[in-house]
Chains A and B, each alone.
Chain A
Amino acid sequence: MSNIESNFLTYAVISYLISMVFYFIFAAFKKDGIGRAATSILVLGFILQTVSILARIAASGRMPFANLYESMTSFAWGIVLIYLIVEITNKTKSIGVVVVPIGFLAALYASTLNKEIEPLMPALKSNWLLFHVGVAVAAYGAFAVSAGTAALYLLKDYLNIKFIPSKEKLDALTYKMIAFALPFMTLVIITGAIWAEEAWGRYWSWDPKETWSLITWLIYLGYMHARLVLKWRGRMAAWLALIGFIAVIFTYLGVNLLLSGLHSYA
């Protein structure tokens, strides 16, 4: 573990924390200056974390996808990146109130994990690692943002808080994020299956990690069908989107912390 890597991760975590506070203040008082500061500090944190990840890549000589610390910092980075793109393209800051805390918590958790560079275990020595985790960062990042917009929808729906954008906009944005993420989630499962076939001779063995990725996928498929065909809008769709993200968290973390299986590295 190099100093640059861990120091810059710490700076990034602090930036995310400050940015989060600014997003809260912005939500409460709607001052444009505060909003701009919140975004700027988030961008700064993102750059700092990028430096930390680059230092990791330089030190280990491979993509940072091999253990819980590496994947966690990558996921936090992905969440912040996708959130920033959504904020800039949709010109709406209020989603940050919910999503920036998710990014902050992920980066904070990453910073507490064991950062020692370990040699790759035999099963991970494959070109599929890059692709498999790469698509997972995109999918999980977008799912995190969709959970944020779905949560805001429910807040607006139940409490009618003023600063929150209109329900229609949130509903549409939630759908957009899930529609973006679903093909990536599909690729996560497919690359995992092909890789398992190469490494263990089984493209599917109902390992807890596999099964939970399938459960997650099925929930989001349920969401897509409900929304596209049954024309579900609003409350029920938002709850389904939130349940989907809980399944994402369980697939990524819960399975490794609570269940045992072949996918034991992260």
Chain B
Amino acid sequence: MIKEFMSSLWGYLSSTTFSVILLLITAAYSILGTVIPQKESPQVYIKLYGEIFTKFFYFLNWTDIFGSITFRILLTILGLSLFSCSTKRFILALKGKLNLYMWGSFLAHLSILLIFVGAIYGSMFGFLGTAAINKGSMYFEPHGSFFIKLNDFNAKFDKFGRPLDFTSDLSIFENNKEVLRKTIYVNNPLEYKGIKLYQSSYGLNGFLGVTQDRKTEIIPIYKGSCAVFSKTGQMFLIEELFPDISSIHGSEIKTYEPIMPIALIYAHDERGFEEIGWITQSNSVKWKNYNLKLGSVTEYTGLQIKKDPGVLIVYFGFLVLVVGLGVMLYVKH
């Protein structure tokens, strides 16, 4: 009984009709994942689709399709089907005469399994994280137990203010000794102990000085952050934070160095957020009985930190795939 069931299951999995249907279902399900915005906050979905659909989407995991159980099951069945299909054909081929085309087909199928294995292996034994490091500061990387220091940050812009280049001069410290120094930029990461550091973003970190009744608080800020004056709970929103005052006059920015930094502040009251004005390190603004002033501002670099021991298996799978397809489709049989 079980044996019969298993053999009929094997028959299903290894049938081409089943795999074609599976390929097309996977394609169709992936389309959903590109049409519905993924991994957004509930508010975004409610605004786009209304409350009923949002509940429905969450129920079906459609807000994170590629991470959903359904998609994983789909990929697992696809993998099983690939496995049974290729072994069946390989066994058949071994019985007869093995020609080049069969080898190509076998390699092409095997390669997809290799890519799956590499991806799973990488996700089990690797990690992916981010870090924002201020200029001159150090960041402790716990997986490799070393420190990353940002020695310098540079950015160049075109005439529209779009970044052309942004580079981070990084040092790796281990046991209080500098063991590696490299300038990284997009397309040029740094690798140490199998951990890779990628240049992914940049920005400014600073401080806001808020004074009320001779009581001053220094609050850390960045663009988009909300500063809270703890004594009263008053909130201030940092709407903009520019490295230089010239940025707001629309003139060309050349560097990202905060020479004359400037911030646009909103304050929160019973009507919501209202603009209270631009502040600099020398020009403060008053709002109600608060006095706001910009403190020190530094550049930070945004790094993607990752380790993926599965990448080589995936790349090997890519190679096998190209060879297999090439032999199948380009060699005359």
Q: Which residues of A contact B (CB under 8 A)?
A: 118-123, 125-126, 179-180, 182-183, 186-187, 190, 193-195, 197-204, 206, 208, 211-212, 214-215, 218-219, 221-222, 225-226, 229-230, 255, 259
The yes or no answer to B23 lying at the interface (CB within 8 A) is yes
Find chain A residues with CB under 8 A from B264 CB: none
CB A174 to nearest CB in B, in angstroms, measures: 14
CB B239 to nearest CB in A, in angstroms, measures: 22
Find chain A residues with CB under 8 A from B20 CB: 222, 225-226, 230
Between B23, B31, B188, the greatest number of chain A beta carbons within 10 A of the residue's beta carbon is seen for B23
CA distance A195 to B186 in the complex (A): 11
CA distance A180 to B306 in the complex (A): 37
Against A, the Cβ 8 Å flags (1 = close, 0 = not) of B159-203 are 000111110000000000000000001111100000010101000
The yes or no answer to B34 lying at the interface (CB within 8 A) is yes
The answer to whether A183 and B326 touch across the interface, beta carbons within 8 angstroms, is: yes
Given A121-B164, A125-B187, A201-B329 contact (CB < 8 Å):
no
Instruction: Closest A residue to B319 by CB, please name it.
Output: A190
CB under 8 Å from chain A, chain B span 2-46 = 16-17, 19-20, 23-24, 26-27, 30-31, 33-35, 38
Secondary structure type dominating chain A contacts: helix
The answer to whether B187 and A222 touch across the interface, beta carbons within 8 angstroms, is: no
Find chain B residues with CB under 8 A from A214 CB: 27, 30
CA distance A230 to B311 in the complex (A): 34
CB B15 to nearest CB in A, in angstroms, measures: 9
The answer to whether B27 and A206 touch across the interface, beta carbons within 8 angstroms, is: no
Q: Which residues of B contact A (CB under 8 A)?
A: 16-17, 19-20, 23-24, 26-27, 30-31, 33-35, 38, 66, 119, 128, 158, 162-166, 185-189, 196, 198, 200, 304, 306, 311, 314-315, 318, 321-322, 325-326, 329-330
Instruction: Closest B residue to A118 by CB, please name it.
Output: B158
Find chain B residues with CB under 8 A from A186 CB: 321-322, 325
The answer to whether A122 and B185 touch across the interface, beta carbons within 8 angstroms, is: yes
Find chain A residues with CB under 8 A from B330 CB: 183
The answer to whether A218 and B26 touch across the interface, beta carbons within 8 angstroms, is: yes
The answer to whether A201 and B17 touch across the interface, beta carbons within 8 angstroms, is: no
CA distance A208 to B185 in the complex (A): 24
The answer to whether B315 and A194 touch across the interface, beta carbons within 8 angstroms, is: yes
Given A179-B329, A219-B27, A119-B66 contact (CB < 8 Å):
no
Given A121-B162, A203-B311, A211-B33, A126-B329 contact (CB < 8 Å):
no
The answer to whether A230 and B322 touch across the interface, beta carbons within 8 angstroms, is: no
A-B contact pairs, 17 of them (CB 8 A): A121-B163, A121-B164, A122-B187, A123-B186, A125-B186, A186-B325, A193-B318, A198-B189, A199-B187, A201-B196, A201-B304, A202-B128, A204-B119, A214-B30, A215-B27, A218-B30, A222-B27
Find chain A residues with CB under 8 A from B186 CB: 122-123, 125, 199
Instruction: Closest A residue to B130 by CB, please name it.
Output: A201
Given A206-B66, A211-B30, A198-B315 contact (CB < 8 Å):
no
Find chain B residues with CB under 8 A from A211 CB: 30, 33-34, 66
CA distance A106 to B322 in the complex (A): 29
Find chain B residues with CB under 8 A from A199 CB: 186-187, 198
CB A206 to nearest CB in B, in angstroms, measures: 4
Q: CB < 8 Å: which of A187, A193, A201, A255 contacts B198?
A: A201
Q: CB < 8 Å: which of B163, B187, B304 contacts A126?
A: B187
Find chain A residues with CB under 8 A from B30 CB: 211, 214-215, 218
CA distance A215 to B35 in the complex (A): 13
CA distance A16 to B119 in the complex (A): 46
The answer to whether A222 and B329 touch across the interface, beta carbons within 8 angstroms, is: no
Find chain A residues with CB under 8 A from B200 CB: 200-201
Find chain A residues with CB under 8 A from B66 CB: 206, 211
CB A195 to nearest CB in B, in angstroms, measures: 8
CB A205 to nearest CB in B, in angstroms, measures: 9
Instruction: Closest A residue to B185 by CB, please name it.
Output: A122
The answer to whether A119 and B314 touch across the interface, beta carbons within 8 angstroms, is: no
CA distance A186 to B330 in the complex (A): 14
CA distance A122 to B222 in the complex (A): 23
Find chain B residues with CB under 8 A from A187 CB: 322
CA distance A204 to B119 in the complex (A): 9
Instruction: Closest B residue to A212 by CB, please name it.
Output: B34
CB B88 to nearest CB in A, in angstroms, measures: 12
Find chain A residues with CB under 8 A from B329 CB: 179-180, 182-183
The answer to whether B166 and A119 touch across the interface, beta carbons within 8 angstroms, is: no
CA distance A208 to B33 in the complex (A): 8
The answer to whether A119 and B34 touch across the interface, beta carbons within 8 angstroms, is: no
Find chain B residues with CB under 8 A from A206 CB: 33, 38, 66
The answer to whether B326 and A122 touch across the interface, beta carbons within 8 angstroms, is: no
Between A179, A202, A215, the greatest number of chain B beta carbons within 10 A of the residue's beta carbon is seen for A215
Q: CB < 8 Å: which of A126, A180, A190 contacts B322?
A: A190
Given contacts A198-B188, A215-B27, 9 further A-B contacts (CB under 8 A): A125-B187, A187-B322, A194-B315, A201-B128, A201-B189, A201-B196, A201-B200, A204-B119, A211-B66
